[in-house]
């Protein structure tokens, strides 16, 4: 199951959109900001239906 969520880059402040795959369970991964290209850590907690996304800079 795919969901989309808007988030704010912790570096440049730009609002971007993430596509989340809830079928994979809890996840942590790194993606570069599509605007400033700095690495963002995404932490997704999900039970397959409800979910929570946290984003922060690599050194936080």
For 49, phi then psi, to 5°, come to -125, -55
Q: What is the pLDDT of residues 9-18, one digit of tens each?
A: 999 999 999 9
Q: What is the pLDDT of residues 42-54, one digit of tens each?
A: 999 998 779 999 9
Q: Residue 40, exposed/middle/buried by CB under 10 A (0-12, 13-18, 19+)?
A: buried
Break the chain down into helix, strand, coil percent, rounded to 5.
Answer: 5, 60, 35
Residue-level pLDDT at 49? 78
Residue-level pLDDT at 47? 87
Q: Which residue did the predictor score with more confidence, 59 or 49?
A: 59
Residue-level pLDDT at 3? 92
């Amino acid at each position: 199951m795919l969901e989309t969520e808007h988030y704010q880059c912790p570096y440049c402040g730009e609002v971007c959109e993430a596509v989340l795959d809830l079928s994979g369970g809890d996840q942590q991964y790194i993606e570069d900001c599509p605007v400033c290209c700095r690495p963002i850590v995404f932490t997704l907690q999900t039970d397959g239906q409800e979910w929570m996304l946290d984003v922060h800079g690599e050194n936080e």
